[in-house]
Amino acid sequence: MHDLVVVGAGPYGLSVAAHASAAGLDLRVFGRPMASWRDHMPPGMFLKSEPWASNLSDPRGEFGLAAYAATRGTEARHGVPLPVGFFASYGLWFAERAAPPVDERVVTAVRTCPGGFRLTTEDGETVLARTVALAVGVMPFIDIPAPLRALGPEQVTHSSHHADLSRFAGQDVTVIGAGQAALETAALLSEQGTAVRVVARSSRLVWNTLPPPRRRPVGESLRAPHTGLGCGWKNWLYAETPGIFRRLPESTRARIFTSALGPAGAWWLRERFEPAVEVRLGESVAAAAPAGGRVRLELISTTGRVETVETDHVIAATGFTPGLERLGLLDDGLRTALRTVGASSAPEANAAFESSYPGLFLAGLLSAPSFGPSMRFVYGATYTAERLVAGVRRRVGARGGPLAKVRQRQGAAEERTSVG
């Protein structure tokens, strides 16, 4: 029985694995490394986060993004966006050096068993573990607006479904949303010759501004400190104090999780987007239906006006919402046993990222309703990995597993040395 099985091999899963391996835990890691970044983002996309805020985490800090850039003869510079493909390659480089070998099979089921958990892989193998860390990323939690859900995949997709947008060249596409995914997808579509419009409920688009230099006069830094989530003291609190966020009332956490760091476009995208893309603000999809090989959308404005638009395809760039009902790999008994955050269906986590079921740990977006907005970004990986692995070590040690035996042997050796 392994001490820990990590389900997922994205930035959070790999960071947890790196810390767990360094701690001497008996460990398995499952998942396609950096799958979301390799398989669900089209060429031409860039990281929105600053390079220095996009490090995967290893205990000694040896394998950061800057170290990888140096091996490629380049530099990860503040204020210069990095291609998503470059970041995905960095994650693979990190996995080879900081984490144990990754088993790329999919884990299809997680069940409880005496002493821990029984996991089943896609080809039927059973793996036993004392503890499990769910680092499943965002793909299980895609959101598509209710009026679009009855349409088939040839008519509507989520923005994360596309590693290649070329199939839409020469077509008419409607993108739903006002965040970076929506705006960058629309820009890429326009640049390849697609007629594209963006439909957004908000009354205006929000654009991030060019970040100030890392080194600034003390007064400027005090007024708006740099953080891994952007400048400003509110962002600093989200980025640097997830433990304090977790102590807030559940209703407050739920409100901040759904409203903080709202949809916005990157500063470097604006000049590409604005001249090229039609924008319909203050509108949302009221109804959608197939129409002779196309899609007919009924758009309702905030004033109640309804207009009809026909389009070849709809891309919903409408984000991700963590919820237990979407975690099909958990068996029903385990899923229903988990305590949730307030009225949401997101699982609650303690200070060590452990769910209410002993030994089941949460990482990444799953933990964001407990720890705040930083868990929606790579920046939260260090905070998570350090505390989660410490929690696993306590849990495994308490069960008398290999870690406890190692400590017993170390203690005996030290005693013999002192006697000698």
- Domains in the chain, start-ordered, CATH in brackets? 2-141+320-413 (3.50.50.60), 146-207+264-316 (3.50.50.60)
Closest CA to 125 of 99, 95, 101, 104: 104
Residue 128, H or E segment: strand 126-134
Q: Confirm if 14 and 57 have CB atoms less than 8 A apart.
A: no
| Coil vs helix vs strand at 307 | strand
Other Cβ atoms closer than 10 A to 367 = 31
Residue 296, H or E segment: strand 294-301
In the numeric block, which tokens belong to residue 42? 């089209």
pLDDT of residue 398: 54
Indicate the burial class of 326 (C-beta count within 10 angstroms; 0-12, 13-18, 19 or more): middle
Handedness of CA 96, 100, 104, 110 (dihedral sign): negative
Closest CA to 180 of 267, 263, 119, 271: 263
How far is CA 27 from each of CA 17, 100, 133, 261, rounded to the nearest angstrom?
8, 8, 11, 35
pLDDT of residue 414: 41
Buried b (16+ CB within 10 A) or exposed e, 245-270: bbeeeeeebbebbeebbebbbbebbb
| Coil vs helix vs strand at 148 | helix
Q: How far is 82 from 50, CA to CA, in rounded Å? A: 8
Instruction: Name the residue with tokens 């390659």.
Output: 89
pLDDT of residue 4: 98
pLDDT of residue 260: 85
Q: Confirm if 188 and 166 have CB atoms less than 8 A apart.
A: no
How far is CA 314 from each of CA 47, 160, 286, 317, rounded to the nearest angstrom?
24, 13, 14, 9
Instruction: Name the residue with tokens 């009026």.
Output: 147
Indicate the burial class of 308 (C-beta count within 10 angstroms; 0-12, 13-18, 19 or more): exposed
| Coil vs helix vs strand at 286 | strand
Ranges in the chain, pLDDT < 70:
398-420
Q: How far is 324 from 345, CA to CA, in rounded Å? A: 6
Q: Following CA atoms 162, 51, 373, 181 in sequence, which dihedral angle do they give, to the nearest 10 degrees?
A: -30
Closest CA to 135 of 398, 329, 317, 2: 329
